[in-house]
Structure 1
């Protein structure tokens, strides 16, 4: 068991209309765009300084109502977390691999929520 999971690093939300959502979060909520880039699967990605990002919602996920792409946690003992996932037969969806946050691993919780943990 991992002693300390760490803190929430960021939240990535999937939007039906990306630019409408960007305008909402910047003009209405007051967020600040940090970077515009592409997500790992090629979708456009907007990263805000406020630890949240937006990307496009794929049609196959829209039917299931999956607006949250993933929640990310920064973990102080990354290797121990990966060992715990493996020891508990948790299927790793992606990684460990180098990302813009460091080394990341992606997996699903029992309810199907996608989780990223990085060092």
Structure 2
């Protein structure tokens, strides 16, 4: 991974009231809704033009207040990252697998934030 090739790809926020949150970001903040779809697990997904997605906050995460579902980074060497994660005994939560972004791998940082890296 060389300098300037990696970048934040997208942010997925979980909302306790999805439509209220969509209204806030679209009507008040001024972000455009570019797509409404569903995840494979059935949760609704609202994509905004700024690289942010909005979905429902699952009941099991509501008590913790964990609003950020994951932060995604676009990287140039997914295989090298997977190797590094394994060498450092970082548990891979999901992947590597093909997603709409390319090959993605999901894992948690030391504070429990879910991270996605894709090529």
TM-score (norm 1): 0.94
Once the two structures are superposed, residues 54-103 of structure 1 have per-residue CA deviations (whole angstroms, 9 ceiling, x without a partner) of 00001110101100000000001111111111111110000111111111
Q: How far apart in 1 are the matches of 2:76 and 2:106? A: 16
1:58 partnered with 2:54? no
Structure 1 gap ranges (5+) = none
Q: What residue in structure 1 maps to residue 11 of structure 2? A: 11
Q: What residue in structure 2 maps to residue 100 of structure 1? A: 100
Moved over 6 A (4+): none
Q: What residue in structure 2 maps to residue 32 of structure 1? A: 32
Q: Is the 8 A contact 1:105 1:117 kept in 2?
A: yes
Q: What residue in structure 2 maps to residue 75 of structure 1? A: 75
**Structure 1 residue 41 displacement after superposition:** 2.1
- Number of residue pairs matched? 118
Q: Is the 8 A contact 1:39 1:55 kept in 2?
A: no
RMSD of Structure 2 on Structure 1 (CA)? 1.3
Q: What residue in structure 2 maps to residue 112 of structure 1? A: 112
Structure 2 gap ranges (5+) = none
Q: How far apart in 2 are the matches of 1:42 and 1:79? A: 29
Q: Is the 8 A contact 1:13 1:55 kept in 2?
A: yes
